[in-house]
Amino acid sequence: MTRPHDSWNVLPHGKLMPLDDGMLTVEGRIKMPLMDLPRRMTVVRLRDSRLVVWSAIALDDAAMAALDAFGRPAFLVVPNDHHRLDAKAWKNRYPELTVIAPEGARDKIGDVVAVDTTSPDFGDPDVTFVTVPGTRAHEAALIVRRSKGTTLVLNDLVGNIHDASGTDGWLLRLAGFAGDAAQIPRVVKLALVKDASDLRAQLLEWAELPGLRRIIVSHGDPIESDPQRTLRDLARSL
């Protein structure tokens, strides 16, 4: 695993892109020991213009200026203990951030940045933090409701990389992060999924979310074509 950064270290990334009302996302790339891995940060603006930053990425000056104009970073969600890379740098840049993590990952994340809570209250009924059942409380999710529909923000639980090629692509497909369809990566099943029945029930429950419009994952493309069916297929794969 890449060592967490102590300072603001900008790695290759794309542009901040709108997802929905009050939602932005950006994809970056990180060099792992055996491959380059795409990674995604998602930003949600609450009703009072505070921001929830999910799986933080250190961005360049222009992107950070755009983000600061979008709202005030107030909550930093570290969705599992493999996504700590830029957490400390973000906390250093925004000392008032409330750091959030799932309970099972709290201690390991705490080695890098102090965790303030595992059950946040965002002060906005349209944004809900979830500790994913069946993962030993090591994985988090976020549900964001908007007038046009609902977005489910996931982390490592689902891989949806389609443009992988060469040796990197072969390794990503072998791990289960890349393929023709969204899937629960093999490495995640082995390391993270401890109760398939509980996770299956949660996936099926999410499939019934009113107005579910898309699923965002930390490694791969947003899932916007029939996300309900995707969740049901994922549940059947367990």
Q: What is the average per-residue pLDDT within 7-17?
A: 96
Q: pLDDT by residue (tens digit) across 200-237?
A: 999 999 999 999 999 999 999 999 999 999 999 999 99
Give the integer Cα–Cα distance in Å for 108 and 124.
Answer: 28
* Structural domain boundaries in the chain: 17-237
In degrees and rounded to multiples of 5, residue 86 shows phi and psi of -110, 10
Q: How many CA atoms lie within 13 A of 218 on its CB side?
A: 26
Q: Return the SS3 of 115.
A: coil
Q: Is the dihedral of CA 236, 200, 208, 124 positive or negative?
A: negative
CATH of 17-237, one of 3.10.20.600, 3.60.15.10, 3.30.70.3190, 3.30.70.260: 3.60.15.10
Give the integer Cα–Cα distance in Å for 116 and 128.
Answer: 17
Say if residues 206 and 231 touch (Cβ distance below 8 Å).
yes
Mean pLDDT of the chain: 94
Q: In this predicted structure, what is the pLDDT of residue 178?
A: 76
Q: In this predicted structure, what is the pLDDT of residue 37?
A: 84
Closest CA to 223 of 162, 137, 133: 162
Give the integer Cα–Cα distance in Å for 32 and 38.
Answer: 10
State CA 31 to chain mean position distance.
Answer: 18
The two tokens of residue 82 are 């493999």
| pTM for this predicted structure | 0.95
Q: Who has greater pLDDT, 33 or 189?
A: 189
Q: How far is CA 30 from CA 170, 193, 222, in A?
A: 17, 24, 18
Least confident of 11-15, 33-37, 126-130, 221-225: 33-37
Indicate the pLDDT class of residue 33, thresholds 50, 70 and 90: low
Q: In this predicted structure, what is the pLDDT of residue 31?
A: 81
Q: pLDDT by residue (tens digit) across 113-165?
A: 999 999 999 999 999 999 999 999 999 999 999 999 999 999 999 999 887 67
Indicate the pLDDT class of residue 179, thresholds 50, 70 and 90: confident
Burial class of residue 55 in the structure, from the number of CB atoms within 10 Å of its CB (0-12 exposed, 13-18 middle, 19+ buried): buried
Q: In this predicted structure, what is the pLDDT of residue 34?
A: 62
Give the integer Cα–Cα distance in Å for 86 and 78.
Answer: 10
The two tokens of residue 15 are 């542009």
Q: In this predicted structure, what is the pLDDT of residue 35?
A: 65
How is residue 104 annotated by DSSP? G
Q: pLDDT by residue (tens digit) across 83-126?
A: 999 999 999 999 999 999 999 999 999 999 999 999 999 999 99
Closest CA to 154 of 95, 106, 209: 209
Q: Provide the b/e sequence for 81-98 (b: ≥16 CB within 10 Å).
A: bbbbbbbbbbbeebeebb
